[in-house]
Chain A
Amino acid sequence: MYLIYLTKRLVMLFLVVVTAATLNFFIPRLSDKSPVLEKITEMSESSAPGSVNMQELLVIFNERFGLDKPLLQQYFDYLGDMLTLDLNYSITSYPTRVADMILAALPWTLGLMVTSTLIAFLVGSVLGALTVWRKDLKLLQFFVPVVMVFSAIPFYLIGLILIYFVAYRGGYFPIGGGYSLTAFPAWDWEFASDVLYHSILPGTSIVIASIGIWALGMRGMMVTVQGEDYMNFAEAKGLKSRRVFLRYAVRNAVLPQVTQLALFMGQLVTGAILVEIVFGYPGMGSLLLQAVDYLDYYTIYGIVFVLILAVAVSMLILDLIYPLLDPRTRHHRA
């Protein structure tokens, strides 16, 4: 029974990935810009006039990147590449491979975004739950309108405010970058602390901007759960308040939040773009923006494909762990 379910789920995953990858292939092709022309124009500007034969180079490059083949042929080549995880060469930064560029950028984004999203999720959910549970704490009641305001401000704006006041005027944190120019990337404490130091401002701006979403969502669910009959029975059972809060109220209220979290995780990189640009952070967001700017097909394909995989896999993980959280969604053993 479970195997059948898992097989169905995996086939579904495959279909979703192929469909999304197809869209990913055709949408950049709608632009009339040519990535090769952009590349050559840039090359000719940086070399002596007349030394580059534009026409000849265009043909060579198109051939090299397979852009001279019919579109359908290119599409099938692309699908094959993606499914074997061979992400090809970058057009703009030839001869760097796209996979290498992604591998260099991904840890930065994941480290920053995953950590700050998890912090926002945890803190937001706890605060949201407490505002409902502890009506006696006046400070918490004051907290709700404040986070509502913050969740309405886009996080790049919060980032800019932080940069201006905390980094530029205050001088407490670096203005941007992933690590100091003088630091030497290595697996040691010195470099790690430098990276951490640089990630505090961008991380904080993400936490401030998204904490409200989690807090408000949790608050709404807590209000709903409080009206449930099992809360009444829990009180009648004379359970300790702490247990009623954690095992009855929060445990049930957090379920939709977890779904939300999985959806969020899939969109991390998209969310990262603006933050990374504002803070000059060397992650996937900056990389994607650059690639779109030059219409570097293969880099766009590679990054978006990784995103598609991330969304699909995080939904799969959610589907697999959700039954553990909510027994009602468990499949009955035959």
Chain B
Amino acid sequence: MLAIKDLCVDFPVMTGIVHAVADVDISIGSGKRVGFVGESGSGKTTTALAVMRMIKKPGEVSKGQILLGETDILALSSEEMRQTRLRRISYIPQGAMNSLNPVMRIEQQIWDGIVDHEGAVSRSELKRRSDEAIEGVGLPARVARMFPHELSGGMKQRACIAIATALKPELIIADEPTSALDVITQRQVMETLENAQEAIGSALILIGHDMGLMAQCVDELMVMKDGRIVERGAIRDIFKYPEHPYTRQLIASVPSIGGESFLPNVSATTANGQKQGDAPLLEFDGVSKVYGGGFFSKKGNTALYPVSFALDGSRPMIISIVGQSGSGKSTMGSLMLGFNRATTGVVRFEGRDMAIMKRHEVKGLRRHIQAVFQDPYGAFNPYYRVERALSLPLRRFGIAQGAAEIRERCAEACLGVGLDPARIIGRFPHELSGGQRQRLMVARALMLSPKLLVADEPVSMVDASLRASILKNLYDLKDKHGISIVYITHDLATAYHVSDFVIVLHEGHVAEAGAPKEVIGDPQHPYTRLLINSIPWPDVDRQWGTSASAREETARLMKDARDHPPVDRSAVPGFVLARAS
């Protein structure tokens, strides 16, 4: 149905020509699901864009042929190509969060596609078809009348699928359709996509970097690296007998619950004098957070219900806080960092109430509590070179004096996270890869030798292959530097391996808490079970979830979770979670 022959895509750059895609041969049968997997820059998205004829200048297809059925895509006029898009091939771009026009209702964004491909269609017919498309992706018809900002991330992604499938194309290309979604939403969205694809009988190209997702969703797999396909075949064969070392590395980089840890099993050393006094390092005393709610507006939004815990800190620990987006986990993180004030209760650091600290105390606090954030692209000032970004905290806290010493400390910090200072230090953030930036963020936090590090989704935006090495960096912090870490994530598999204690948050309440082997290895609370069932396993023989329908299973477990009392698992020394009355 789709045949790509000897495709080459070139991008001219200052130093010559970059072959973003080189000699790619792919043939996809009708109704088949094919995965393109590889890290960023491997050419998977570029190949898809070549099929759409949407490669941005100055890049161009320098060689090859793309056949869609009998149609030679590369020979079409631009008007013929326009008519081919959506009607015959639809493309759901990366970042569905922002793929919808913010000033148009969802239904209008379905209509314009219909009208521009089929000519004038009566209003009632348009309405009927948009409602059908919206209901076809499992959303209520009233969503069609809403604007994008009124929808959640998962709903927006489904609306994009509704738009892309409204004209029943022969081929759907979905570019990382779930990369910004939590596991529960991811499973529902993928089910929606597969159902829609089966209903119209089209082929599907799924682009991604998560081997687990691939194992659950596709029939065939193309593993891409540096613009070339390094391995291809039926998904089952690839998982059974991966031939290329890169494929093996990709499969191994997916953390799984239970089994061998991808991290070295070193017992934590005692803290090297990180903690002072007898008071716990970090303490939450009946802390809750309500957003909004003023004199005129309605009742505020409770992000976090009262929670109390004490992290002793004499032995460094990694505490994981897991949950869906909107579960209150990031709110908890920002309360720890003192970015937000608790609505009720007291947050104490080494026994002192953070809310009543004086200016200079707050400054000291910043040194002791550092953060690593989710978005490695937004965390650095684009106008500062790495050197400046790294040396600023050193100067601010007076840790190092003199240019030579500062340079030395910066270099040390880079080496500490496996970066070559000579190649990094003089560059601007945009010249670095996402993984390098994320490591730099760890390096910057580490330079101040903090006592506590709050890492909010530190690996959710980097490739699977980098994920393990960044987590390894974090893990080392605990062992080598005796730093306690609060790891906020929606990825239960990594939480299982790195943490000493896990707190599962559900709609602002603690659902389940305890040692990871118990909470994640043998979940008792329906919500924890739902989270774990939603993880796509890198195992073709293991079914995704326990029920064939993700929607039904989610609804059932969510309903159970709402009434279920919190589950306390056995205690872990060094961390006390008290139930707030």
Contacts and interface: CB of A to CB of B under 8 A. Distances in A.
A236 interface: yes
19 contacts: A4-B296, A8-B296, A229-B93, A229-B97, A229-B98, A232-B54, A236-B90, A236-B91, A237-B113, A238-B83, A238-B87, A240-B116, A243-B112, A243-B116, A247-B112, A251-B103, A252-B101, A325-B103, A326-B103
Contacts of A240: 82, 116
B170 to A, nearest CB: 14
Nearest to B102: A328
Nearest to B173: A236
A333 to B, nearest CB: 11
Given A247-B112, A327-B147, A328-B147, A236 B85 contact: yes
A248 B113 CA distance: 13
A334 interface: yes
| Most chain A CB neighbours (cut-off 10 Å) among B81, B98, B101 | B101
A233 interface: yes
Contacts of A251: 101, 103
Contacts of B112: 237, 239, 243, 247
7 shortest interchain CB distances as A-B pairs: A238-B85, A229-B98, A236-B91, A233-B99, A327-B147, A238-B86, A229-B99
A235 B112 CA distance: 12
Interface string B17-36: 00000000000000000000
A325 to B, nearest CB: 7
B578 interface: no
A232 B97 CA distance: 13
Interface in A223-276: 228-230, 232-241, 243, 247-248, 251-252, 255
Given A239-B113, A247-B101, A334-B298, 10 more contacts: A229-B95, A233-B100, A235-B85, A236-B91, A236-B93, A238-B87, A238-B113, A241-B82, A252-B102, A327-B147
B223 to A, nearest CB: 25
Interface in B96-130: 96-104, 112-113, 116-117
Contacts of A8: 296
Contacts of A334: 298
B519 to A, nearest CB: 37
A240 B101 CA distance: 15
B143 interface: no
Given A4-B296, A230-B101, A237 B163 contact: yes
A24 B160 CA distance: 55
B104 A247 contact: yes
Contacts of A230: 98-102
B116 A238 contact: yes
B149 interface: yes
A233 B102 contact: no
Contacts of B7: none
Interface residues of B, number: 34
Contacts of A243: 112, 116
B113 A235 contact: no
B169 to A, nearest CB: 10
Interface in A190-239: 228-230, 232-239
B84 interface: yes
Interface string B60-89: 000000000000000000000111111100
Given A229-B95, A243-B112, A243-B116, A236 B54 contact: yes
B103 A233 contact: no
Contacts of B85: 235-238
A334 B297 CA distance: 9
B222 interface: no
Interface in B201-243: none
B504 interface: no
B105 to A, nearest CB: 8
A310 to B, nearest CB: 28
B81 to A, nearest CB: 8
A233 B49 CA distance: 12
B52 interface: yes
A236 B52 contact: yes
B112 to A, nearest CB: 6
A252 B147 CA distance: 14
Nearest to A8: B296
Contacts of B84: 238
Contacts of B87: 238
Contacts of A238: 81-87, 113, 116-117
B116 A228 contact: no
B99 A327 contact: no
A297 to B, nearest CB: 40
A245 B98 CA distance: 18
A327 B94 CA distance: 24
A239 B100 CA distance: 14
Nearest to B87: A238
A252 B81 CA distance: 26
Interface string B147-180: 1010000000000100100000000000000000
Contacts of A232: 54, 93, 99
A239 B147 CA distance: 20
Contacts of B95: 229
Contacts of A328: 102, 147, 149
A325 B104 CA distance: 10
A248 B99 CA distance: 11
A327 B105 CA distance: 9
A327 B101 contact: no
B342 to A, nearest CB: 27
B55 to A, nearest CB: 11
A215 to B, nearest CB: 22
Contacts of A252: 101-103
Contacts of B94: 229
A238 B93 CA distance: 13
Interface string B486-502: 00000000000000000
| Most chain B CB neighbours (cut-off 10 Å) among A8, A232, A237 | A237
Contact of B101 (A4, A241, A248): A248
Contact of A233 (B83, B116, B149, B160): B160
Contact of A235 (B54, B97, B102, B103): B54
Interface string B549-575: 000000000000000000000000000
B335 to A, nearest CB: 27
Given A4-B296, A232-B93, A237-B113, A327 B102 contact: yes
| Most chain B CB neighbours (cut-off 10 Å) among A232, A233, A327 | A233
Given A238-B84, A238-B86, A240-B82, A233 B93 contact: yes
A237 B104 CA distance: 15
A159 to B, nearest CB: 38
A241 B82 CA distance: 9
Contacts of B90: 236-237
Nearest to A239: B116
A8 B296 CA distance: 10
Contacts of A234: 101
A49 B306 CA distance: 90
A150 to B, nearest CB: 31
A251 B104 CA distance: 10
Interface in B337-378: none
A4 B52 CA distance: 50
Contacts of A237: 85-86, 90, 112-113, 116, 163
A284 B296 CA distance: 41
A212 B116 CA distance: 34
Nearest to A240: B116
A236 B86 contact: yes
Nearest to B94: A229
| Most chain B CB neighbours (cut-off 10 Å) among A234, A247, A326, A327 | A327
A264 B134 CA distance: 42
A34 B104 CA distance: 59
A328 B103 CA distance: 8
Nearest to B166: A237
A153 B133 CA distance: 55
Nearest to A325: B103
Nearest to B146: A327
Interface string A1-45: 000100010000000000000000000000000000000000000
